[in-house]
Chains A and B, each alone.
Chain A
Amino acid sequence: MIHKEFRQIFRDRAMIAIIFLVPVLQLLILSYAITTDVKHIKLSIIDYDKTPFSREIVRAFSHTERFDIVQQNLDLTRIGDHMRAWKTQMALVIPPDFSKDVQRRLHPSLYIAVDGVDGNTAGIALGYAQAILVGFNVELTTSPIPASRKKPFHLVSMIERMWYNLELDSQQYMVPGIVVILLTIIPMMLSAMSLVKEKEIGTLEQLMVTPLRKHQLLLGKIIPFLILSYVEMTIVMTVAILLFNIAMNGSYVLLAFLSFFYLLTTIGLGIFISTFTNTQQQAMFVAWFFMVFGIIMSGFFIPIENMPEFLQKVTYLNPMRYFMTIIREIFQKGSGLRYLWQNSVLMTIFGVLIISMAVGKFRKRVS
């Protein structure tokens, strides 16, 4: 029975390639795109001062990859229009007589205009610009003032320490998440499709009249998917660690152990789907719906903490959420069961519940 199932899976190679290989490759490659880091902000300079000091400020902006100076000496009134045409994201305005006024201690102002449509980028861009300009302020106060005078102001500055991910490389976080998605798609789709296929072509009835017991029949279905999922997981993790330099800081044994309980959930869901769909196409649609819901509500792209309160509560119903946390914590922080037991217990409860419900429903349908 197990043997037969394996043969059946491998027969339809083209479809397997489309369903499994392509999304995996896409995710691995596209995970390079996942960054909210802000670089190459399109900056326009409007320098009415035109002194060595103002040019020094402009130079500070041109010397970082965070800003790309796209336009010099833009007309002040045209800033809005340039933003509407997506030609500039930020404008720095140095007013006339700026450096003279600084020297005369008249405390002049510099003006920054930023396109706020992408609020996140706007906030970060403002932060970068202010950091550069505050640097000039500090320099101006430290150099020309005689040592006898008390320092006129104090600035608390940040020294940042990024733990677990020094380079702020978002792939370290996304790729373990991809493993979760894989361990969801493959077992769920394969088990749903294979059971529905037997239904469609009528071989389920044939299996029924053989002396096989019902639980033997189901085990014969489940075990190959379990093995296949583990194989796929090993391959993807090997690729991730060797090719994408993903750091694995935790225990492989713990990961494999906890994966088992998650696979119960996803295989269970697959069997469940097969009980109320009649064609492979329907099964695929329903599975896709579960996938989209699961991925959004798992914290894969969007941190759950960012969501509104009621959606955060909904995520507790999503088994993917628990495994997403578990796998990332194991990979990045090397956390042990001591820190993960709550997530593991909830995930196991879901797994046992879903698979027993699915098996129950399947038996009822069969008999």
Chain B
Amino acid sequence: MSIIKRKTVVWSIARKEFFHIIRDPRSLTILFLMPVLQLVMFGYALKMEIQQVNLGVMDYANSPSSRQLTDYFKGSTYFKPFDFDASPDRINDLFKARKAHAVMVIPFNFDRELERDVSIPVQFIIDASDANAATTIRNYISQTLQEYNEAENRLTSLPFEIRNTIYFNPDKKSTYFFVPGIIALLLVMISAMLTSITITREKESGTMEQILVSPIRPHQIILGKVLPYIFLAFSIGMVILLIGIFLFSVPFQGSVLLLLILSTLYIITALSLGLMISTIAQTQQVAMMLALIITLLPTFMLSGFIFPIASMPRILQYITYLIPAKYYLFIARGIILKGSNLLQLLHPTLYLLIMSLVLMVVSIRKFGITLEK
């Protein structure tokens, strides 16, 4: 077969598949609408910042300086302190009724310690049933105490000072961090689901036999089938990228062109994943379930979308190397939030490239074997 003819074969399969997609406007609407809805819902719901921590204050000292400490917590945006004049064994009731997240206990000798000691301990009891919230609350408390200490010791200066600079996201807003993650999650899910049913559909409806008797080569079918989906997934990706960045006013630092190119690479990786599922599964239902199982939870939990990979158990950390979204997150967050260039993102880009090539080759091989049977 000549090169030109080979190209036309791929092209005509792509055209057929393309018309197959746009013929069904209802599915097309669902394909565009569902991710947008989920993006908006996730974008607003995902917040690391606990709005206000209810802090019970047991002030045994009841002195001007102890009240000053309480006032300092009142002035902070993190806390909503309230007086809790009760015996310590009532704290349990307080937590069970979910009226407070934490209790601050100021000892009766607070003033005396203040005069004598360098370090004055104040006890904080935290409801740690939600371990992650407890970590955040602890963090808020130590930040607030730090500010309090700085404010109280202004006259006598410390041996040395500590100055911070926060790069790229000075307000530490979690939404900026999450929007690229949501986009990564939605893109991989949609792309994988889209292609996962393409070949199984032919298997189910029996049109596979027709392809079998035609002189078309496996890689031509695969390429022809993937092309229109790259286009479709790319358009969906554009829509959610635009909405995500503008709706949540994420500051865009880097090169738009680079983001588009690397997003396409990510989409191709996800589509190839779907293709591989498609060659394995026998029915559309199984294919879709498989696509969901492989993409949804692993991407959500293991890509670094919300939970830092470095804190996970070793074994899970190794599994994260298989998650395409992990690399896309480095890319998308790097370009959007930090303005990284291609050289700085070389590693994740190469990983995605290799991953998509391997998946593509495996599915073509696998597909070829099914054809020969």
User: A residues bordering B, Cβ < 8 Å?
Assistant: 15, 18-19, 22-23, 26-27, 29-30, 32-42, 68, 79-81, 83-86, 98, 101-102, 105, 107-124, 126-127, 129-131, 133-134, 136-138, 140-142, 151-166, 168-170, 172-173, 280-281, 284, 288, 292-293, 296-297, 301-303, 305-308, 311, 325, 328-329, 332-333, 335, 339
Contact = CB atoms under 8 A, between A and B. Distances in A.
B301 A30 contact: yes
Contacts of B51: 305-306
Q: Name the 5 nearest CB pairs between A and B, nearest first.
A: A119-B172, A85-B344, A116-B169, A162-B128, A116-B166
Counting chain B CB atoms within 10 Å of each CB, the highest count among A68, A113, A126, A307 belongs to A126
Contacts of B131: 35, 37, 165, 168-170, 172-173
A311 B145 CA distance: 31
A109 B307 contact: no
Question: In the complex, which range does the number of interface residues on chain B fall in?
Answer: 35 or more
Contacts of A33: 301-302, 307, 312-313, 316
B293 A26 contact: yes
A107 B306 contact: no
A110 B279 CA distance: 58
B96 A339 contact: yes
Counting chain B CB atoms within 10 Å of each CB, the highest count among A40, A41, A140 belongs to A40
Contacts, number: 316
B122 A118 contact: no
Given A98-B160, A116-B172, A127 B142 contact: yes
B129 A328 contact: yes
Contacts of B50: 303, 305-306
A145 to B, nearest CB: 10
A311 B158 contact: no
B230 interface: no
A185 to B, nearest CB: 12
Nearest to A89: B310
A36 B127 contact: no
Given A81-B344, A137-B158, A164-B95, A126 B176 contact: no
A335 B96 contact: yes
A320 B69 CA distance: 39
Contact of A119 (B116, B119, B171): B171
Given A36-B48, A119-B173, A160-B138, A80 B167 contact: yes
Contacts of B168: 83, 115-117
Given A26-B293, A120-B136, A153-B118, A140 B128 contact: no
Nearest to B69: A156
B293 A18 contact: yes
Nearest to A169: B131
A280 to B, nearest CB: 7
Given A84-B338, A161-B126, A168-B128, A307 B159 contact: no
A201 B62 CA distance: 75
B161 interface: yes
B38 interface: yes
A86 B334 contact: yes
A121 B122 contact: no
B160 A18 contact: no
B139 A119 contact: no
Contact of B161 (A110, A166, A168): A110
Interface in B293-319: 293, 297-298, 301-302, 306-308, 310-313, 316
Given A113-B166, A173-B132, 17 more contacts: A22-B293, A30-B301, A36-B48, A110-B161, A112-B164, A116-B170, A117-B168, A124-B139, A127-B139, A133-B162, A152-B156, A155-B153, A157-B122, A161-B123, A305-B52, A306-B51, A311-B44
Counting chain B CB atoms within 10 Å of each CB, the highest count among A81, A157, A172 belongs to A157
A200 to B, nearest CB: 13
Contacts of B135: 36-37, 124, 168
A155 B165 CA distance: 23
Contact of B159 (A85, A137, A281, A293): A137
B162 to A, nearest CB: 5
B123 to A, nearest CB: 5
A35 B285 CA distance: 33
B244 to A, nearest CB: 16
B47 A113 contact: no
A190 B49 CA distance: 37
